[in-house]
Amino acid sequence: MKEAPRAAWTRRDLLGLRELSAEEILSILDAAQGFADISTRSIRKVPTLRGRVVVNLFFEPSTRTRLSFSLAAQRLSADVLDFTTGSSSTVKGETLIDTAKNIEAMGVDVFVVRHSAPGAAAILSRNLEAAVVNAGDGAHEHPTQALLDLYTIRQKLGRFEGLHVAIVGDIGHSRVARSNIWGLLKLGAKVTVVGPPTLVPGRFAELGVEVSHDLDAVLPQVDVLNMLRIQRERQGTLNFPSSEEYTRLFGLTGERLKRAKPEVIVMHPGPINRGVEIAPEVADGPNSVILDQVAAGLAVRMAVLFLVSTGTRRDPPAQLPGVTSPGEAS
């Protein structure tokens, strides 16, 4: 690693992008850029985290995120443990906190946590000494996915200020969308979320993004199209009638892409439902940066594992939100 990260990073956890400043986000992207070089060397490994232990604590099935974190940790010479189990309130009657504390007692430095419950990573960060990296907590945040998306955008377009990014799909249930929204807004991009109103609640406007239910109207305006995976299990429910109808309205086909700027980049966090949210000719076409995203993910995760290993945990805020003081507005 040649470039030193910006001085902004002092945290011991990466729980989400909402709590980060633009400076902190950029410091991760800068560090990632330094680590990206390692993948091009003949010996693709550095001793940065030798002797440290990283555990992947996954309560939800995941292949690519877990592999990406494992490889990132191995390239930093850390020892890697994998703990994968089903998502429920307890594992063999043991609570999340007890499970994590037991593993921590083996001498773990960094927890990489994937869980179906929003706040799972935050709960662990309050209960563990080790650093905690959120690898996806329910529909709340998936910060490393958004960071790799940001990294890819910067790599391809060179800036954030003035860019217009459309995020298309099941925004309401998406942690990827939320983390992207926070990151993009902090870095000065404009964001439009697109999809049917059952999946894209109008309330998202309160987060500072535009809400649209008309992909064709949005397409000509945007520099980046981030197509989210549609969960087929949601079809035929009240969310949307069928994947065919979804594709007709919101699927990115080659024909539809002609409405967009020629230099638009097309992103997808994977895994792809070919022919549902994105047509094969678009996923494999010249505008697609999907495989660049995967490569960026490795560099970003190396940067994150490195940075949290050097950070310190901040004291919690003295004043909790949501507590109304007596006499307020009286």
Partner 1 sequence: MSELLIAGGRVVDPARGVDGRLDVLVREGEVVAVAPDLARGGSYERVLDASGLVVLPGLIDMNVQLREPGRSADETIASGAAAAVRGGFTAVAVMPNTEPAVDDEAGAEFQVLQGKRAGKAWIYPIGAVSRGLEGKALAELAGLKRGGAVAFSDGDRPLRSAEMLRCALLYAKMLDRVVVQHPEDYDLAKQGVMHSGRVSTILGLAGKSAASEQVMVSRDLTLAELTGAHLHLGRISTAGSLELIRVAKHKGVRVTCDVTPHHLSLTDEAVESFNPCYKVDPPLRTQRDVEALIEGVLDGTVDAIASDHAPHSPEKKDVEFQFAPSGVIGLETTLGVVIEHLVHGRGMPLTRLAELLSAGPARILGLPGGSLAPGAPGNVTVVDVDGAWTVGPEFVSRSQNSPFVGWTLRGQARYTVVDGQIAYAAEPAPAG
Residue 298, both tokens: 């490795």
Closest CA to 200 of 225, 166, 232: 166
Distance between CA atoms of 184 and 204, rounded to whole angstroms?
14
The residue from 42, 312, 319, 324 that contacts partner 1 (CB under 8 A) is 324
CA angle in degrees (0–180, nearest 5) for 119-83-300: 65
Distance between CA atoms of 310 and 304, rounded to whole angstroms?
10
The answer to the question of residue 319 lying near partner 1 (CB under 8 A) is no
The answer to the question of residue 153 lying near partner 1 (CB under 8 A) is no
The answer to the question of residue 158 lying near partner 1 (CB under 8 A) is no
Q: How far is the CB of 284 from partner 1 (least distance, A)?
A: 31
Distance between CA atoms of 104 and 108, rounded to whole angstroms?
5
Q: How many residues interact with partner 1 (rule CB under 8 A)? A: 38
Q: Which is nearer to partner 1, 195 or 251 (CB)?
A: 195
The answer to the question of residue 328 lying near partner 1 (CB under 8 A) is yes
The residue from 75, 178, 186, 268 that contacts partner 1 (CB under 8 A) is 178
Q: Which is nearer to partner 1, 199 or 219 (CB)?
A: 199
The answer to the question of residue 122 lying near partner 1 (CB under 8 A) is yes
From the list 67-75, 202-210, 221-229, 259-267, the region that binds partner 1 by CB under 8 A is 202-210
Q: Which is nearer to partner 1, 184 or 219 (CB)?
A: 184
Distance between CA atoms of 47 and 77, rounded to whole angstroms?
5
Return the residues of window 123-152 that contact partner 1 according to CB under 8 A. Answer: 123, 137-141
The answer to the question of residue 204 lying near partner 1 (CB under 8 A) is yes
Distance between CA atoms of 137 and 201, rounded to whole angstroms?
20
- Chain centre distance of CA 98: 26
The residue from 32, 80, 96, 215 that contacts partner 1 (CB under 8 A) is 96
From the list 5-13, 43-51, 77-85, 111-119, the region that binds partner 1 by CB under 8 A is 111-119
3-class DSSP assignment, residue 136: strand
The answer to the question of residue 329 lying near partner 1 (CB under 8 A) is yes
Q: What is the DSSP string of 63-129?
A: SHHHHHHHHHHHHTT-EEEEEE---SSEETTEEHHHHHHHHHTTT-SEEEEEESSTTHHHHHHHH-S
- What x/- string results for residues 263 through 302 when contact with partner 1 is judged by CB under 8 A? ----------------------------------------
The answer to the question of residue 206 lying near partner 1 (CB under 8 A) is yes
The residue from 115, 186, 190, 268 that contacts partner 1 (CB under 8 A) is 115
Q: How far is the CB of 281 from partner 1 (least distance, A)?
A: 33
Contact 225, 256 (CB under 8 A): no
With residue 166 as reference, give the H or E element that holds it. Answer: strand 164-168
Contact 150, 293 (CB under 8 A): no
Which residues are near partner 1 by CB under 8 A? 18, 88-90, 95-97, 115, 117-120, 122-123, 137-141, 173, 175, 178, 201, 203-204, 206-207, 320-330
